[in-house]
Amino acid sequence: MRPTAARLLNILVPVKRAVDYAVKIRVNPQQTGIDTNVKHSMNPFDEIAVEEAVRLRERLKDEIKSIKAITIGPSKSLETLRTALAMGADSAIHVEIPDSAPAPEPLAIAKTLKAVIEKEKEKGTGVDLVILGKQAIDDDLGLTGQMLAGLMGWSQATFASKVEVDVGGKEVLVVREIDGGSEEVRCRLPLIVTTDLRLNEPRYASLPNIMKAKKKPVEKLSATDLGVDLTPILETLKVTEPPKRVGGGKVESVDELVAKMKEAGITAA
């Protein structure tokens, strides 16, 4: 246990290397997945998570003891960790999986994160706050944060658009995006937060910071080290192209536009 006198926060930020958001993906001919020989970058929601952690430190200064980024992925995921370090994380953990391994599922990722959090606790740096993206833009599942909160038995605040941490009071005020509006919740630490797009505008890493990031420590771990099994439980039978939409072409005038709409049965209500 951490001494109660030291009211310092350790933040863990899980990040994922994903196909860049601007890439138009292509399904491979074998229908087993997509062509991954394309540009990858940090999942946009995770950039927001890293940014939020760094901003918390800028606001709370010394009350934030550490910001640690973590990724679970193939060797190339190290680049993603370096990006997080360049944005302002202090150190990183890379749980490396073979390049040929299938992408682990959120439940396995959550179990891995739990194992890491427990490991950190043994080292005396108990994690108080985990900030994750609300979803990865590749699998679009949006499960990991909630699953981690469930496994840890911690409080959770999903789809956060505003986070205010009271380190001394061990409480966090979060504004969450919900269907039709927003809501405010007060959560006790330790807490899992997942980020909405609205939370912040991530910074670009400056060149000096990118250089510095190369010297920051990255701990390498394996699934075996952590005693977790990353084999997917769900079987992906195939991946296919969605039905193609045939654009109907353009019209030249508003009259033609209205005619087309009326043809389709659209008139004033």
- Which one among 1, 5, 6, 264 touches other proteins, defined by CB under 8 A? 264
C-alpha atoms less than 13 angstroms from C-alpha of 73 in its C-beta half-sphere? 19
Binders of other proteins among 220-259, rule CB under 8 A?
Answer: 223-224, 229-242, 245, 247-258
**Tokens standing for 102?**
């299938």
Q: Report angle CA 22, 161, 45 to the nearest 5 degrees.
A: 30
Q: Give 233's contacts (C-beta < 8 A, 6+ positions apart).
A: 105, 107
Of 89 and 152, which CB lies nearer to other proteins in the complex structure? 152
What is the C-alpha separation between 219 and 170, in angstroms, rounded?
A: 28
DSSP state of 38: S
Is 1 near other proteins (CB under 8 A)? no
Give Cα separations from 178 to 46, 146, 189 (angstroms). Answer: 19, 15, 22
Of 54 and 108, which CB lies nearer to other proteins in the complex structure? 108
Q: Are the CB atoms for 51 and 200 separated by under 8 Å?
A: yes
Is 184 near other proteins (CB under 8 A)? yes
Is 187 near other proteins (CB under 8 A)? yes
Of 73 and 86, which CB lies nearer to other proteins in the complex structure? 73
CB 199: neighbour CB atoms within 10 A?
26
Is 38 near other proteins (CB under 8 A)? no
Least distance (Å) between residue 136 CB and other proteins:
10
Is 140 near other proteins (CB under 8 A)? yes
Amino acid identity, position 206: S
Is 193 near other proteins (CB under 8 A)? no
What is the C-alpha separation between 257 and 230, in angstroms, rounded?
A: 53
Is 51 near other proteins (CB under 8 A)? no
Nearest to 186 by CA among 156, 159, 161: 156
Of 55 and 216, which CB lies nearer to other proteins in the complex structure? 55
Rg of the chain in Å (alpha carbons): 22
- Piece of the chain touching other proteins by CB under 8 A; list 65-73, 84-92, 191-199, 212-220: 191-199
Of 87 and 108, which CB lies nearer to other proteins in the complex structure? 108
Binders of other proteins among 92-131, rule CB under 8 A?
Answer: 97-98, 100-102, 105-107, 110
- Piece of the chain touching other proteins by CB under 8 A; list 5-13, 84-92, 175-183, 209-217: 175-183
Least distance (Å) between residue 214 CB and other proteins:
29
How many chain residues are in contact with other proteins, going by CB under 8 A? 95
